[in-house]
A and B are shown apart, each in its own frame.
Chain A
Amino acid sequence: GAVVSQHPSRVICKSGTSVKIECRSLDFQATTMFWYRQFPKQSLMLMATSNEGSKATYEQGVEKDKFLINHASLTLSTLTVTSAHPEDSSFYICSARTSGDSLEQFFGPGTRLTVL
């Protein structure tokens, strides 16, 4: 299957700092990427849909000023958690579909964020 990478794989930061997570499609171009958040032993919670060259679409209840998404190219989307607090600690996962008509959605390995 197609490969999606994330960086960093894990990050620990102090409360109040901002953290940027990168999501890259390595062997395909993705006009749309998706960002998920997952709490322990729970399902995937869609945070936002990231569209290349336009503003992201956020799910209800997700603060767009808190979770900044930039999809500047067809292979890179970034999620910045601004002024992180301990309650933002979670597992963040991105995914992408291989093409506009493709049904297959591939996930990155995830980023474990711990805010102290």
Chain B
Amino acid sequence: QQQVKQSPQSLIVQKGGISIINCAYENTAFDYFPWYQQFPGKGPALLIAIRPDVSEKKEGRFTISFNKSAKQFSLHIMDSQPGDSATYFCAASPPGRGNTPLVFGKGTRLSVIA
């Protein structure tokens, strides 16, 4: 119930293409869904996040699509660039706010090739 399942494990995309990473969850009490970007040797950086009352959120080339009924959400990276090559983690927040840790997916290694 506390799991977040992320796919694919790895992804190779041509420069300029669209990268799509999917996540699914079971716990309907989750109420916040962030995506993190992590470069090798660095800590994860908050990329974009969405609440379940919104079906889509866009920030620059990054878009989260959220399907509450299917309990799925996805990250779309438009016009993918080699600099986007990183590991991406989806996460979900159980109720409990500040002292409740996020539940993370296992990550997707994205490689954008020229």
What is the interface of chain A, defined by CB distance below 8 A to chain B? 1, 4, 6, 31-32, 34, 41-44, 46, 49, 51, 91, 93, 95, 97, 99-110, 112
Q: A108 with B49: in contact, given A100-B98, A102-B97, A103-B93 (CB under 8 Å)?
A: no
Question: Cβ of B98 and Cβ of A112 under 8 Å apart?
Answer: no
CB within 8 Å for A99 and B98 given contacts A41-B109, A43-B107, A104-B34: yes
Does chain A have a CB within 8 A of B66?
no
A32 to B101, CA, bound (A): 9
In the complex, what residue of chain A is closest to B93 when comparing beta carbons? A103
Nearest-neighbor residue (CB-CB) of A41 within chain B: B109
The one of B44, B45, B98, B107 that contacts A97, using a Cβ cutoff of 8 Å: B98
Which residues of B does A touch, CB under 8 Å? 31-32, 34, 36, 41-46, 49, 89, 93, 97-99, 101-102, 104-107, 109
A–B Cβ pairs within 8 angstroms, 16 of them: A32-B99, A41-B109, A42-B107, A43-B107, A44-B89, A46-B101, A99-B98, A100-B98, A103-B32, A104-B34, A104-B49, A107-B36, A107-B45, A108-B43, A109-B43, A110-B41
Cα A116 to Cα B36 with chains together (Å): 32
Residues of A within 8 A of B31 (CB): 103
Neighbouring A residues of B49 by C-beta, 8 Å: 103-104
Is there contact, CB below 8 Å, between B102 and A105? yes
Closest residue of chain A to B105, judged by CB?
Answer: A43
B42 neighbours in A (Cβ, 8 Å): 109-110
CA distance A93 to B106 in the complex (A): 16
Question: Which of A41, A44, A100, A110 has the most chain B CB atoms inside 10 A of its CB?
Answer: A44
The answer to whether A101 touches B101, judged by C-beta atoms less than 8 angstroms apart, is no
User: B93 contacts which chain A residues (CB < 8 A)?
Assistant: 103
Cβ-defined contact, A104 with B98, below 8 A: no
Question: Which of B43, B46, B93, B97 has most A Cβ within 10 Å?
Answer: B43
Question: In the complex, which of the residues B89, B97, B99 has the most CB atoms of chain A within 10 Å of its own CB atom?
Answer: B99
Top 3 A-B residue pairs of the complex, sorted by shortest distance between their CB atoms? A107-B43, A100-B98, A103-B32
